[in-house]
Amino acid sequence: MTEPLLKVKNLVKNFSITGGILSREVAKVHAVDGVSFEIGHGETLGVVGESGCGKSTTGRCILRLIEPTAGEIWFEGKDVMQLEGKALQALRRDMQIIFQDPYASLNPRMTVGAIIGEALVIHGLAKSRKEIDERVSDLLATVGLQPAHARRYPHEFSGGQRQRIGIARALAVEPKLIVCDEPVSALDVSIQAQVINLLEDLQEKFSLTYMFIAHDLSVVEHISSRVAVMYLGRVVEIAPSKDLYTNPLHPYTEALLSAVPIPDPTIARNRIRLEGDVPNPISPPPGCHFHTRCPIRQLPRCAEERPELKQAGPGHWVSCHLRG
Ligand code: SF4
C-alpha cells in the first residue's frame, strides 16, 4: 500500500479567551477536538459541517497558518509540526490554500499580475521580469482568464473571476495539495459549477490532491472521492463518497443529507429537523458532542461516553454508540 500524501492524527486546536487586567486565560474555544484522517495522492477529501465545526481551522492547522495545540500532521512522510525555516517554506510551496472570499484574500492595491507573480518571486521560481510575465500569462490562461487581465486590479473582476485569480495564485508554485476552504460558498450557483469544474480539470492536469471544505453536502458530492463530516470539532463519519450519500450511518450525516435537494421531483426526502442550535464550542457537551440534538440518543450513555470512530464497512468509519 502506498503511503497517503497527508496524515492527520488526533489534531487538537484550542483558542484561548483572555480577560481581566492581566489578560489571563478565562476560557478556551475547543475548535478542533482530536481529528484524524488521511488523504491519498490525487484524491479529494470533502470536509463538511456547519460553521464553527472546526473544518477551516483544521485546514489552516495543516498548512501551519495557525499552530495546532496538539496532534500529528505528516506530509509525504515529513513531520509537519517539526518543520521550521527553509523546510517550512518548502512545505508552504507544496501546500496551498484557496479562500472562501476571493476579494478579501487578494490585495486590492496590487495588480493581478503582481499578486500571482509574488508567489513566483518568494519561492524563486522565476528569475527575470520576462519569465515572471510569461508564467503569469500561462497561469491566467490555465484558469480561463486573459493575459491582459494581469494589468488590472481585483475590484475590476466578478466573484467567479476573482476566485480564478486565487486559484492561479495557488497554482503558481506548483503545489501538491490544495486546501480549498469553501471556495464556492460566496458565489452564485451557476458560477459555483464552473469553478468546481475548473478545479476538477486542474486536478487531472496537474495531479493535484484536494481537501475540499464546504458547509453543504451537495457541493462536495461530485468532486470528492471520500467525505468527512465534522460536528463541533470532531469527525463523526468518514466514508467513500458514494457510500456516504447512499448509506449514511451517523444521525448528523442523515440530517445534513435530508436537506440536500434531489433533482428528481418524483422522489421525496423526509427532511430531518434537528432540535436546538450547535452548542457553544467553549463548553461542548460531554460524551457525544451531538447528544443534545440527536434524535436517537440513549441516555445516560450518549451524554457520558465519547464514541470512538469505528470502522463500519470498507473505508467507512462512524462515531456513534448505536451505529456501526
Ligand atoms: Fe446520537 Fe448517541 Fe450516536 Fe451520539 S452516540 S450520535 S447521541 S446515538
Q: What is the pLDDT of residue 137?
A: 96
Q: What is the DSSP string of 57-89?
A: HHHHHHTTSS--SEEEEEETTEEGGG--HHHHH
CA-based angle 244:245:251, to the nearest 5?
70
DSSP 285: P
Interval between CA 181 and ligand 1 midpoint (Å): 28
Strands 6-19 and 70-75: what pairing?
antiparallel
Record the pTM. 0.93
Residue ranges of the chain with pLDDT lower than 50?
Answer: none
- Radius of gyration of the chain from Cα atoms? 21
CA of 44 to the centre of ligand 1 (A): 28
Residue in 234, 263, 259, 236 with CA at minimum distance from that of residue 318: 236
- Tell me the one-letter amino acid at 135: R
**pLDDT digit string, tens, across residues 218-228:** 889 889 999 99
Angle at 242 between CA 94 and CA 185, to 5 degrees: 55
Q: Using most ligand atoms within 8 A of CB, pick from 234, 294, 309 the residue to mutate for ligand 1.
A: 294
The per-residue pLDDT for range 207-246, each reduced to its tens digit, is 999 999 998 898 898 899 999 999 999 999 999 999 999 9
Q: Reduced to 3 states, what is the DSSP secondary structure of residue 159?
A: helix
Q: What is the pLDDT of residue 218?
A: 87
Is residue 314 left, alpha or beta, with left meaning phi > 0 and alpha meaning psi from -120 to 50? beta
Which triple of cell numbers denotes residue 215? 458547509
pLDDT computed for residue 2 by the predictor = 78
Please say whether the beta carbons of 206 and 143 come within 8 A: no
Cα–ligand 1 centroid distance for 295 (angstroms): 8
Please tell me the predicted confidence (pLDDT) of residue 268. Answer: 66
What is the Å distance from ligand 1's center to 307 Cα? 8
What is residue 19's predicted lDDT score, i.e. its pLDDT? 84
Neighbours of 272 (CB within 10 A): 14
Cα-to-centroid distance, 320 and ligand 1 (Å): 5
Residue-wise pLDDT for 156-207, tens only, equals 999 999 999 999 999 999 999 999 999 998 888 889 999 999 999 999 999 9
Distance CA 26, CA 119 (A): 39
Residues with CB under 6 A from ligand 1: 251, 288, 290-291, 294, 296-298, 302, 307, 320-322
205-314-238-234 Cα dihedral, nearest 10 degrees: -140
Neighbouring C-beta atoms of residue 263, cutoff 10 Å: 5
Q: Which atom of ligand 1 is nearest to the CA of 291?
A: 7
Q: Residue 259: what pLDDT?
A: 82
Q: What pLDDT shows up at residue 239?
A: 97
